[in-house]
Structure 1
Amino acid sequence: MKLKPMIPHKKKTLKAIDFFCGAGGMTQGMIQSGIDVLAGIDIASDCKQTYEINNSSTYIETDITSYTADDLKEATGILKNDDSLVFIGCSPCQYWTKIRTNKSKSKMTKDLLDRFKYFVHEFLPGYIVIENVPGLCNSSENRVLRDFKQYLSDSSYVFDDGIINGNDYGVPQNRRRYLFVATRLSEDIRLPEAEKSDDLTVRNFIGRNNGFKKIPAGHKDETDYIHSSANLSKQNIQRMKLTKRDGGTRHCWKDNPALQINAYKGRDDIFGDVYARMWWDKPAPTITTRFNSFSNGRFGHPEENRAISLREGATLQTFPKDYIFKGSNNATIARQIGNAVPPELARRIGIDLIRSWKNTIVQSKSKSS
């Protein structure tokens, strides 16, 4: 399946600031929808080069907790109460994710939505978008989202939110996310409409028919195409060879004492996707920050004896194949890709914002005539 080219529309109707922009997945999709992204803001220095190479937007590298509204106004020229302004807040989500992570390391980021609220309060943009892990709205301890919603309601915003699957929005993954859209301009705001498609499978995005030549584990692609795969130990190579093609799991070698993993002995019912292959004719699993590792999920290539490559992961995230990723090593690039909002999801959100914006203009002209 060919992705739609990420070419900015000539006519811009809305402008946006992309908070916590990372490598630019949300920015890229918004640009494709026709929205002018003025700037992306992030503390991550390793994302700056990737972001600026691929987007005409300014990358503001800063700690958002000490950055002020005056700083943002000076850097971008935005003003308060601008109906055409969109604020996008996709803050780091490790604290609220179900994936096993060190919560103590991510605890400092769990209240970044509160900092985002500060900028919303200072500028009162016409539109607001939030994308995050489902745990952001499911956790009983998360007062930040509740307070944010209450603040918006008190400030005459209306909103729609819910848990969506990226596979219903042009993304070839089972990627469940929390999505939130808001406006103070009208009642006409809703999440993009889900569109089911049987074409959003691994087969239609990667593989030799989609420009991905066969490569071995440990292959290094020195070009910007980064069709590079991680090294595998001899033991993991043996495991992959015994893992059935097209969806095979570690159960294929669980009775081999030389290959079985101690943590899983007699525990075949847990973590079934670890050391597993993707299926050709199903969506990929969620592309995480460690998608290039065979041992961290169902990230084995459907038939080749390796984990999927960096470019394959980016393609399953719906980045265009000419999107250039820069980083000091493969782990850094994988993290940029896995943390990103899929551009195709972002594009569809942007299209709906423009629809709402245009409807507001039509209604305003109708009332004044």
Structure 2
Amino acid sequence: MSLAEVVDLFCGVGALSHGLLRSGMEIRAGYDTDRRCKHAFETNNQSKFFCRDVARLEADEISSHFSGKLPTVLAGCAPCQPFSTYKHRYGEDPRWDLVESFARLAVNVRPDFVTMENVPSLLKYKDGQVFRRFKELIEDAGYEVHWQVARCEDYGVPQRRRRLVVIASRHGLPPKLEVTHSDPLTVRQAIGALPPTSAGRSEPSDRLHVSAALSNKNMERMRASKPGGTWRDWPFELRAACHQKSTGSTYSGVYARMEWDKPSPTMTTQCYGFGNGRFGHPEQDRAISLREAAILQSFPADYSFLPEDEAPTFSEVGRWIGNAVPVGLAEAIGASMNHVIETSYDD
């Protein structure tokens, strides 16, 4: 018996939905503008995908997915790029409006719960105006709102990642997310048992266990890299031109290997590239594979991203993985709502 019914906005490949599914909820529908996410969302979440712009959705359409027999959840993760600390041209990106669009839909749909996940810098974006407006709209509609900046490694995600989590309820204040892993999972525990592979090679047993090819120069750099080290460990002649200048000397978090016995760094949309961050394999001379990146985001090892007859592309699958809500964090979000359902919900 499911504990609640969920509609997921900005659903992507379904990571947030999958965590909520694992927490005991039923996923009724997902909406996203990327039609290529349909296979992954539907296959892994036993649900229906709709390729639609959330800003143009009406409350009646969302409400039609709910049966009326269980508590209801409206979930979403509006695109975080406008609020990211990597983004500087804030005023030129209209996607921040989607946070308010999500809040207005929630107010009109009036589900039992509303949950949103985003980057912590949303709290400071436009001097905090966007987040305050979101919170005020939800609270004025009769919800009690809990928010926190969560450490993903506390919830079974083998990765150092901080995310803003908001849970609103019409049936009592949701509790803080309960820590499930006092000892964080490590890179070794997450991907250490995967079969070895090499740069540019795809494993026949799993198309996603593929790592990007390396140029001869980057292969030399990889071999000179130490787990947890930086490009400063290399001979001077291997250093990139920008790193040989004083202006680039502080950028040490690229061209680096992960460490076996620590959580990984934050997975980004370019987590498949050795030069894009600390994404080198701890031991093998290659960047991490797409499958390894997905596992470090706490996707199940058999999560299906594409139909069997389609080969993955690094840019597309990397974007899906990097933009995903870590599944372990999503499951903890579901557990918080379940606590309210089990203790306070009046049916």
Fold match by TM threshold 0.5: yes
- Aligned AA (2:239): Q
Using a 3 Å threshold, how does the CA distance of structure 1 residues 164 and 149 change in structure 2: closer, same or farther? same
8 Å CA contact retained: 1:173, 1:283: yes
**1:11-30 → structure 2 map (5 Å cutoff):** 11-30=1-20
Q: Counterparts of 2:104 and 2:206 in 1: how far apart (Å)?
A: 38
The answer for the alignment partner of 1:84 in structure 2 is 71
The answer for the alignment partner of 2:228 in structure 1 is 247
Residue 314 of structure 1: CA displacement? Answer: 0.7
Deviations 1:331-356 (A, max 9, x none): 21111111111111111111121111
Does the alignment pair 1:329 with 2:316?
no
**1:170-185 → structure 2 map (5 Å cutoff):** 170-185=156-171
8 Å CA contact retained: 2:76, 2:116: yes
Moved more, 113-122 or 196-205: 196-205
The answer for the alignment partner of 2:80 in structure 1 is 93
Deviations 1:250-286 (A, max 9, x none): 1111x422x2112112447522210010011111001
From 80, 87, 103, the counterpart of 1:117: 103
The answer for the alignment partner of 1:7 in structure 2 is none
Residues matched between the structures, number = 342
Per the alignment, in what secondary structure is the counterpart of residue 107 of structure 2? helix
8 Å CA contact retained: 1:224, 1:324: no
Using a 3 Å threshold, how does the CA distance of structure 1 residues 78 and 109 change in structure 2: closer, same or farther? farther
Deviations 1:95-151 (A, max 9, x none): 11112576577x121110111112112111111111100111122444222112112
Using a 3 Å threshold, how does the CA distance of structure 1 residues 101 and 217 change in structure 2: closer, same or farther? farther
- Aligned AA (1:99): Y
- Aligned AA (2:277): G
- Aligned AA (2:275): S
- Aligned AA (2:215): S
Q: Counterparts of 1:92 and 1:279 in 2: how far apart (Å)?
A: 30
Q: Unpaired segments of 5 or more residues in structure 1?
A: 1-10
8 Å CA contact retained: 1:83, 1:185: no
Q: Counterparts of 2:322 and 2:95 in 1: how far apart (Å)?
A: 18
From 153, 178, 183, the counterpart of 1:198: 183
Q: TM-score, normalised by structure 1?
A: 0.87
Per the alignment, in what secondary structure is the counterpart of residue 3 of structure 2? coil
Q: TM-score, normalised by structure 2?
A: 0.92
8 Å CA contact retained: 1:83, 1:126: no
Does the alignment pair 1:341 with 2:339?
no
Residue 190 of structure 1: CA displacement? Answer: 2.1
Does the alignment pair 1:263 with 2:253?
no
8 Å CA contact retained: 2:3, 2:70: no
Does the alignment pair 1:213 with 2:203?
no
Q: Counterparts of 1:286 and 1:295 in 2: how far apart (Å)?
A: 15
Residue 56 of structure 1: CA displacement? Answer: 0.6
Per the alignment, in what secondary structure is the counterpart of residue 110 of structure 1? helix
Per the alignment, in what secondary structure is the counterpart of residue 151 of structure 1? helix
**1:266-277 → structure 2 map (5 Å cutoff):** 266-267=245-246, 269-277=249-257
8 Å CA contact retained: 1:225, 1:324: no
- Aligned AA (1:63): D
8 Å CA contact retained: 1:201, 1:283: yes
- Aligned AA (1:198): D
The answer for the alignment partner of 2:25 in structure 1 is 35
The answer for the alignment partner of 1:230 in structure 2 is 212
8 Å CA contact retained: 1:46, 1:332: no
Runs of 4 or more, structure 1, over 6 Å off, are none
Q: Percent identity?
A: 37
Residue 68 of structure 1: CA displacement? Answer: 1.6
Residue 60 of structure 1: CA displacement? Answer: 1.1
Q: Unpaired segments of 5 or more residues in structure 2?
A: none
8 Å CA contact retained: 1:15, 1:36: yes
From 34, 38, 51, the counterpart of 1:61: 51
Q: Counterparts of 1:296 and 1:221 in 2: how far apart (Å)?
A: 23
8 Å CA contact retained: 1:48, 1:59: yes
Using a 3 Å threshold, how does the CA distance of structure 1 residues 64 and 222 change in structure 2: closer, same or farther? farther
Q: Counterparts of 2:121 and 2:275 in 1: how far apart (Å)?
A: 24
8 Å CA contact retained: 1:26, 1:346: yes
Residue 77 of structure 1: CA displacement? Answer: 4.5
Deviations 1:60-101 (A, max 9, x none): 111112222233344x2467xx97111112010001111257
8 Å CA contact retained: 1:273, 1:297: yes
Using a 3 Å threshold, how does the CA distance of structure 1 residues 322 and 127 change in structure 2: closer, same or farther? same
Using a 3 Å threshold, how does the CA distance of structure 1 residues 63 and 146 change in structure 2: closer, same or farther? same
Residue 221 of structure 1: CA displacement? Answer: 3.2
Q: Counterparts of 2:78 and 2:94 in 1: how far apart (Å)?
A: 12
Using a 3 Å threshold, how does the CA distance of structure 1 residues 77 and 186 change in structure 2: closer, same or farther? closer
